[in-house]
């Protein structure tokens, strides 16, 4: 009876030619594969075809079901925060992530040595370098011979050969714990057809549950850590675009330690007046007062004077004292058009300084000359050639040249005036413009409401020269005297010493302070040094002509003798003679060039 039952393995299902052709079309090589299985393994694939089809249908259905469940789970059961590369929150989180302990244990990370990328921290590198130099200086004893420059430079070069490694999460998903909650970071690079588009990277921070409060806490913590890293440093942004096809935006370019206001060589009345006016503008209730009286809440300043007189330095010092961020704008950029200009001004935060350096170098700000009918004068086509006997303005010439070359003409004076003081102009910002030639600027740019205060910088007079000499030598001498004879390290940025001190150290410190306040102690010798430097400053100022050199020129000379104040006095007369001769020769060359140009035009 058992012998009469068929063997399943030997059962062969015959398919019609049409069925075989369909299977061959759906599964290329089916006929060849089925013959191999049947010839060598005695297995007829046609007998199990229905199982294969059911398995394939099950796999396809499970794929769609899993995608639906995943989408449902991520939509209703997971909270996600998206961070884009062109936003500062991206830098906040990447900085926070690089400081976490779990980043050292991850097996997938992006390594780099760039010092100007979004993941790096060039400010930390500067601080580490300064700290190492401080440690090296503290190791030098006054009784030992000074280290030669060759030995010092060899050590510095060998240290600079090794760049600091930077580690950030690699592309993909990363899981970590934060305040007892499991979080996921997904780093993605969006595909784009543009070759030079850089804003194609995004971060997705997710947590389980519909409550995103843990994500808010983490991002707030990341921002706090990033701001604490800056401390009291002055942050500087620049209006630029990342690629040729992108729009302009404010990009953080650097942060620098604040400059003391007393190091800016300027009349104290003007300096304090400038600072007091800004403080009055930022005072509480001023914005409401402006709104109550229907006055736009804006303030503008023009700093004018010869090159090297400290115009930009004053702006930087005031920004550091008040804790304001500086936003740099270059009006001469041909890539900057009206739309990008409006976009940059609309992105300016309240209570910041917008610095436009050398505004006279941009041709759009030049004076258009007197005109009884400005509307009729403005109706002239920008690209039309001048009439016979009519001189073309620099703006017209520049626009025609740009149009002939097919270049982007940039912004116009009208767009600049509207963005500064138009109906849609931003409020709350402080505009500071610097110029070496205020007479070249258009009157419309200098009217009240756009420029509320003008400060004229001068060449250094005797009083300024004395201050500059003291600032160069007194500070450095005091600092070196304190380091060599006191032997103590300056406090760190948080106001505490780098190394903890025990009871014995406290006793030594008290004895050291007692010795320092003796007449022959460090403070006594420092006082004598200050008196000596003040006397030398008077001698130096008497040898430099008043009102002939800029503070930058005098500072450049003093820096050549930064360790030798007496030598600076001995050689200053020869330097003054040489500089006067250079200026005289330059003026003669300029006069000769103007005469030659006038003859060629006539």
| pLDDT in the model for residue 595 | 83
- Residue 461: strand, helix, or coil: coil
d(CA 111, CA 124): 18
d(CA 31, CA 57): 22
Contacts (Cβ under 8 Å, ≥6 apart) of 350:
427, 428, 429
| pLDDT in the model for residue 43 | 80
Tally Cβ neighbours within 10 Å of residue 549.
24
Tell how far CA 504 is from the center of its chain.
45
The values of phi and psi at residue 387, to 5°, are -75, 160
Would you state the structure tokens that stand for residue 550, as one six-digit string?
Answer: 């800029």
Q: Which of 568, 558, 542 is nearest to 471 (CA)?
A: 558
Q: Which of 224, 239, 234, 257 is nearest to 340 (CA)?
A: 239
| pLDDT in the model for residue 243 | 62
Residue-by-residue DSSP string for 346-389: HTPPSS-EEEETTGGGSGGGB-----S-HHHHHTS-TTSPPPTT
Q: Which of 80, 303, 260 is nearest to 183 (CA)?
A: 80
Question: Would you give the DSSP letter of residue 39?
Answer: I
d(CA 1, CA 276): 115
Helices 462-481 + 522-543 axis angle, to 10: 150
| pLDDT in the model for residue 162 | 83
Reduced DSSP (H G I as helix, E B as strand, rest coil) percent helix, strand, coil of the chain, to 5: 50, 15, 35
d(CA 295, CA 553): 42
Q: Which of 271, 262, 259 is nearest to 233 (CA)?
A: 259
Is 442 in contact with 394 (CB distance < 8 Å)? Answer: no
Would you state the structure tokens that stand for residue 534, as one six-digit string?
Answer: 């003040």
- What class has domain 240-363+411-458? alpha beta
CB neighbour class for 266 (10 Å; exposed up to 12, middle 13-18, buried from 19): buried
d(CA 209, CA 124): 37
- Residue 462: strand, helix, or coil: helix
Tell how far CA 524 is from the center of its chain.
44
Is 339 in contact with 368 (CB distance < 8 Å)? Answer: no
322-339 pLDDT, tens per residue?
Answer: 999 999 999 888 888 888
Q: Measure CA of the first residue to CA of the last residue in the chain; give whole Å.
A: 128
d(CA 484, CA 138): 7
Q: Which of 339, 338, 335, 413 is nearest to 374 (CA)?
A: 413
d(CA 362, CA 433): 12
Q: Which of 164, 161, 84, 159 is nearest to 116 (CA)?
A: 164
How many residues in the chain? 602
d(CA 182, CA 468): 58
d(CA 68, CA 64): 6
Which stretches of the chain score pLDDT less than 50?
1-3, 5-6, 8-10, 116-117, 119-123, 125, 131, 137-145, 195-197, 371-394, 396, 398-400, 402-406, 476-478, 480-505, 508-510, 512-513, 515-517
Q: Which of 181, 203, 237 is nearest to 94 (CA)?
A: 203
| pLDDT in the model for residue 378 | 42
Is 299 in contact with 349 (CB distance < 8 Å)? Answer: no
Contacts (Cβ under 8 Å, ≥6 apart) of 326:
234, 235, 236, 237, 315, 316, 319, 352, 353, 355
Phi/psi region, residue 546 (left: phi>0; alpha: psi -120 to 50; beta: rest), is beta
The values of phi and psi at residue 206, to 5°, are -125, 155
d(CA 346, CA 424): 9
pTM listed for this prediction: 0.73
Pairing of strands 78-84, 201-208: antiparallel
Question: Would you give the DSSP letter of residue 441?
Answer: B
| pLDDT in the model for residue 144 | 45
- Residue 430: strand, helix, or coil: strand
- Residue 134: strand, helix, or coil: helix
Is 384 in contact with 338 (CB distance < 8 Å)? Answer: no
Is 172 in contact with 186 (CB distance < 8 Å)? Answer: yes
């Amino acid at each position: 009876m058992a012998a009469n039952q068929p063997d399943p393995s030997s059962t062969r299902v015959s398919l019609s030619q049409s069925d075989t052709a369909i299977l061959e079309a759906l599964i290329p090589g089916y006929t060849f594969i089925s013959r191999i299985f049947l010839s060598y393994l005695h297995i007829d694939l046609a007998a199990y075809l229905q199982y294969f089809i059911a398995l394939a249908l099950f796999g396809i259905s499970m794929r769609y079901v899993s995608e639906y469940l995943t989408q449902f789970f991520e939509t209703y059961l997971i909270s996600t925060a998206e961070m884009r590369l062109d936003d500062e929150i991206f830098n906040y989180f990447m900085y926070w992530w690089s400081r976490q302990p779990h980043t050292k244990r991850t097996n997938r990370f992006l390594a780099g040595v760039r010092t100007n990328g979004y993941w790096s921290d060039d400010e930390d590198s500067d601080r580490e370098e300064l700290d190492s130099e401080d440690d090296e200086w503290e190791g030098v004893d006054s009784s030992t011979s000074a280290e030669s420059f060759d030995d010092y430079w060899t050590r510095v070069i060998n240290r600079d050969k090794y760049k600091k490694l930077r580690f950030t999460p690699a592309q993909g998903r990363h899981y970590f714990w934060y305040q007892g909650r499991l979080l996921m970071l997904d780093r993605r690079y969006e595909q784009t057809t543009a070759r030079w588009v850089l804003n194609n990277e995004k971060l997705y921070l997710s947590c389980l549950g519909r409550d995103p409060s843990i994500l808010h806490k983490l991002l707030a913590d990341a921002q706090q850590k990033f701001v604490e890293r800056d401390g009291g440093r002055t942050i500087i942004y620049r209006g630029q675009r990342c690629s040729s096809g992108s729009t302009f935006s404010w990009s953080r370019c650097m942060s620098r330690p604040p400059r003391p206001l007393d190091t800016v060589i300027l009349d104290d009345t003007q300096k304090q007046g400038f600072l007091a006016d800004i403080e009055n503008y930022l005072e509480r209730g001023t914005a409401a007062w402006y709104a109550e009286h229907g006055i736009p809440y804006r303030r503008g300043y023009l700093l004018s004077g010869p090159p090297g007189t400290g115009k930009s330095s004053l702006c930087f010092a005031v920004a550091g004292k008040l804790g304001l961020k500086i936003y740099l704008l270059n009006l001469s950029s041909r890539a900057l058009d009206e739309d990008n200009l409006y976009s940059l001004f609309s992105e300016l935060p309240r209570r910041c300084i917008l610095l436009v350096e050398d505004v006279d170098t941009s041709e759009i700000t030049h004076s258009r000359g007197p005109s009884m009918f400005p509307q009729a004068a403005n109706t002239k086509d920008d690209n039309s050639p001048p009439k016979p006997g009519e001189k073309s303005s620099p703006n017209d010439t520049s626009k025609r040249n740009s149009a002939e070359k097919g270049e982007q003409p940039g912004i116009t004076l009208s767009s600049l005036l509207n963005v500064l003081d138009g109906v849609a102009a931003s409020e709350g910002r402080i505009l500071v413009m610097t110029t070496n030639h205020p007479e070249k600027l258009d009157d419309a740019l200098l009217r009240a409401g756009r420029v509320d205060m003008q400060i004229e910088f001068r060449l250094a007079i005797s009083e300024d020269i004395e201050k500059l000499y003291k600032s160069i030598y007194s500070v450095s001498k005091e600092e070196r005297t304190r380091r060599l004879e006191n032997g103590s390290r300056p406090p760190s940025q948080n106001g505490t010493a780098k190394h903890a001190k025990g009871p014995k150290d406290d006793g030594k410190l008290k004895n050291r302070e007692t010795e320092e306040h003796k007449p022959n102690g460090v403070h006594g010798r420092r006082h004598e040094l200050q008196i000596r430097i003040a006397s030398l400053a008077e001698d130096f100022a008497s040898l430099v002509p008043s009102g002939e050199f800029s503070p930058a020129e005098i500072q450049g000379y003093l820096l050549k003798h930064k360790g030798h104040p007496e030598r600076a006095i001995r050689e200053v007369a020869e330097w003054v003679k040489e500089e006067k001769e250079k200026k005289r020769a330059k003026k003669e060359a300029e006069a000769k060039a103007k005469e030659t140009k006038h003859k060629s035009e006539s």
